[in-house]
Amino acid sequence: MGISTSDKPFITRVKEDEADHFMRAAVAKAQDAQFIKRTQARRELGNWNEWRDLAEQIRQHVLKYLPDYLEEFADNVEKQDGHVFFAKDEDEAHNFIKELAIAKKAKNIVKSKSMVTTEIDLDKTLLSIPGANLLESDLAEFILQEDNWDEPTHIVFPTLHKNRDQIQREFQKLGYDGDDDPQHEARFVRGYLRKYFMKADFGITGCNFAIADNGMINLDTNEGNADITMAIPKTQVVVMGMERIVPSMKEAEVLDNMLARSAVGQKLTTYCTFTGRKKGGEVDGPDDFWVVIVDDGRSKALGTEFEPILQCIRCGACMNVCPVYRQVGGKGYGSIYPGPLGEVLSPILGGYEKFKDLPYACSLCAACTETCPVKIPLQHLIREHRIVEMDGKHMDHSMTNLILKMVGKGTQSPFLFGSAMKMAHPASNMFSQTEQPGAVEGMYDEGKIDYVPKIVPKLIHGWIDTRDVPRPVKAKENFRHWFKDHKPEEMAPVVKKEGGHAND
């Protein structure tokens, strides 16, 4: 799948999501429920803003000395007889893991949820190995896999768009004969996956934080699937974005607490594990421990105004407060990273050509920045992308420039401006509707424009397609005329404040 989840144009994706009433209601419900849980969990901790200062400091410090921390981590993994591979891009990362799976003669590969493995298109690569099986073990990822690798909607709740009946139907294909109670559905998956887990020989996990000073990796999950993935298979591969590192377990535990509170309103995830290669005397855990550290475009943000996005700890809180995400849902973004995080990260990792629309899927309300536990100035970065697109990359310039030049000329000349004002009302006749069922009374007395033909330039479509534009009034009824015709009847009285001046 890679970072991009769709080839359809942004507007088509949004329209499809608009029609998906279950998904939209589910997103709204999730946002509201998470608001209560998240706020409560943060309040209980106390001093939330000072915790955010600390979390921001940890993440910024690590980014500043990233090569040094990665070096320290790699040294410590190697000291435990583990292996570290640095992959500059998606191809290197998934090809490396494929080679390893082949070399280890992997038969039953098991994965636990990891955004970066989706980003590097690992599933598809591994499925191309003849004779190898692959199962996603996270409940949501398993559901997506069984539904023909459906796209995720959210980084924390990937199946937000699916209801229990759809899930029941997917599971029936695997032999499930129970009802649509989520508890029963989950128990079925427990049994189904347990059989597979018991014979798994190659485990793949992501990594919440790599611990530089001891070479361990830190994973946060609620289901326990990641821990079983790290217990049973003899070979374990950890795939991590290169920025997911902290100096020591002390900084990791700070971020674990903030991640759980921000992501799901818990104090800590059910399993918060620091782990590495099996040590002498221990019975289970990986004999063979491999870490793949992935750049895949992240370094494009280093040293730029976009560097703060690498502070992200993938809690999903920004999408849980975003008013645009509430309407569009996760799939509309066309990226595995949706919401405000995705609006900033997707163009960096996947390029502006592919994701140029995303920075515009934002009202710049700043709710995301306010909630981000590591204080990423998300709306500033989104705006920064717009600046790059318009100034730096001169994207979408031709027709827009021409129109704006014409508007400039028109507004400079009193004659042209006056003529345009006169013509606005009659010219908009053919695009206007006077019948407005459901509209607020008096809102569109002259009707509103909600349609323009296809050939009209994109700039104008941009306005009309997404807004209700009132039809211009007749020239002689416009504000200028009204103002000219009305004189004040009486001066407003000036009240003098005590001890002050009349106009204070």
Partner 1 sequence: MTSLLDQANNKDNREQFLNRIAKAAGRPRHALKDHPFKPLNTLPDDLLADKSPEELLNIAIKNSESVNAQVVLKPAAQLADFLTAYAKQENISHLLLPNNTPEEWEKYGLMEWSKNPGVENVAVWSDKLSRQENEENANQADLAVGMGDYLIAATGTVTVINRSAQGRGFDYLPTRLLLIVPKSGLVKSTREAVNKYNEQTANGLSTSTFNFISGPSNSGDIEMELVVGVHGPVECTYLIVEDR
Residues found near ligand SF4 in the complex (CB under 6 A):
262, 312-318, 341, 371-374, 376, 378
Instruction: Take residue 334 and report the two structure tokens written for it.
Output: 């066309």
Tell me how far, at minimum, the Cβ of 221 lies from ligand SF4, in Å.
17
Which has the closest alpha carbon to 359: 341, 386, 380? 386
How far does the chain reach from its first CA to its final CA, in angstroms? 64
Q: What's CA 120's distance to the chain center, in Å?
A: 16
The residue type at 82:
G
Residue 372 interaction partner, one of ligand SF4, partner 1, none, beta carbon < 5-8 Å per kind: ligand SF4
State the pairing for strand pair 432-433/235-241. Answer: unpaired
Residue 317 interaction partner, one of ligand SF4, partner 1, none, beta carbon < 5-8 Å per kind: ligand SF4
Other Cβ atoms less than 10 A from the Cβ of 407: the count is: 12
C-alpha 85/C-alpha 120 separation (Å) is 15
Tell me how far, at minimum, the Cβ of 34 lies from ligand SF4, in Å.
12
Cα distances from 322 to residues 35, 162, 308, in angstroms, run 11, 20, 19
Binding mask of the shown chain, residues 122 to 151, with x at each position contacting partner 1 by CB under 8 A: ---------------xxxx--x--------
Residue 478 interaction partner, one of partner 1, ligand SF4, none, beta carbon < 5-8 Å per kind: none
Tell me how far, at minimum, the Cβ of 263 lies from ligand SF4, in Å.
8
Residue 160 interaction partner, one of partner 1, ligand SF4, none, beta carbon < 5-8 Å per kind: partner 1
32 is an interface residue for partner 1 by CB under 8 A: no
Query: What is the full DSSP assignment across 210-235?
Result: EETTT--EEEEESSSHHHHHHHS-SE
Residue 382 interaction partner, one of partner 1, ligand SF4, none, beta carbon < 5-8 Å per kind: none
Helix (H, G, I), strand (E, B) or coil at 31: helix
Q: What are residue 495's DSSP bridge partners? A: none
The half-sphere exposure of 136 on its side-chain side, counting CA atoms within 13 A, is: 23
C-alpha 504/C-alpha 498 separation (Å) is 10
Residue 360 interaction partner, one of partner 1, ligand SF4, none, beta carbon < 5-8 Å per kind: none
268 is an interface residue for partner 1 by CB under 8 A: yes
Residue 108 sits at φ, ψ, to 5 deg, of: -120, 100
Among 15, 28, 43, 68, binds partner 1 (CB under 8 A): 68
Residue 149 interaction partner, one of partner 1, ligand SF4, none, beta carbon < 5-8 Å per kind: none
351 is an interface residue for partner 1 by CB under 8 A: no
For residue 2, is it left (φ>0), alpha (ψ between -120 and 50) or beta? left
By CB under 8 A, which span of 202-210, 299-307, 314-322, 364-372 interacts with partner 1? 299-307
Looking at the Cβ atoms of 94 and 314, the one nearer to ligand SF4 is 314
27 is an interface residue for partner 1 by CB under 8 A: no
Counting residues that bind partner 1 (by CB under 8 A) gives 108
Contact 460, 451 (CB under 8 A): no
By CB under 8 A, which span of 301-309, 326-334, 457-465, 481-489 interacts with partner 1? 301-309
Classify residue 50 by its DSSP letter: H
The residue type at 302:
L
Among 290, 325, 352, 355, binds partner 1 (CB under 8 A): 290
C-alpha 351/C-alpha 347 separation (Å) is 4
Dihedral of CA atoms 366, 367, 370, 374 in degrees, nearest 10, equals -90
**Interacting residues of 430 by C-beta distance below 8 A, sequence separation 6+:** none
Tell me how far, at minimum, the Cβ of 142 lies from ligand SF4, in Å.
23
Matching residue, tokens 């189904």: 192
Instruction: Take residue 146 and report the two structure tokens written for it.
Output: 């069984």
Residue 153 interaction partner, one of partner 1, ligand SF4, none, beta carbon < 5-8 Å per kind: none
296 is an interface residue for partner 1 by CB under 8 A: no
Contact 274, 216 (CB under 8 A): yes
Looking at the Cβ atoms of 300 and 481, the one nearer to partner 1 is 300
Tell me how far, at minimum, the Cβ of 476 lies from ligand SF4, in Å.
52
Among 24, 61, 380, 481, binds partner 1 (CB under 8 A): 61
Looking at the Cβ atoms of 22 and 417, the one nearer to partner 1 is 22
Instruction: Take residue 28 and report the two structure tokens written for it.
Output: 């709204």
Residue 100 interaction partner, one of ligand SF4, partner 1, none, beta carbon < 5-8 Å per kind: partner 1
By CB under 8 A, which span of 261-269, 346-354, 440-448, 463-471 interacts with partner 1? 261-269
105 is an interface residue for partner 1 by CB under 8 A: no
258 is an interface residue for partner 1 by CB under 8 A: no
Residue 500 interaction partner, one of partner 1, ligand SF4, none, beta carbon < 5-8 Å per kind: none
The H-assigned helical ranges of 372-440 are 378-387, 398-412, 414-427
Tell me how far, at minimum, the Cβ of 166 lies from partner 1, in Å.
10
C-alpha 347/C-alpha 352 separation (Å) is 5
Crossing angle, helix 48-64 and helix 66-79, to 10 degrees? 80
Residue 251 interaction partner, one of ligand SF4, partner 1, none, beta carbon < 5-8 Å per kind: partner 1
Looking at the Cβ atoms of 14 and 63, the one nearer to partner 1 is 63
Looking at the Cβ atoms of 167 and 362, the one nearer to partner 1 is 167
Binding residues for partner 1 restricted to 225-244, rule: CB under 8 A: 225, 227-228, 230-232, 242
Q: How many residues does the chain have?
A: 504
379 is an interface residue for partner 1 by CB under 8 A: no
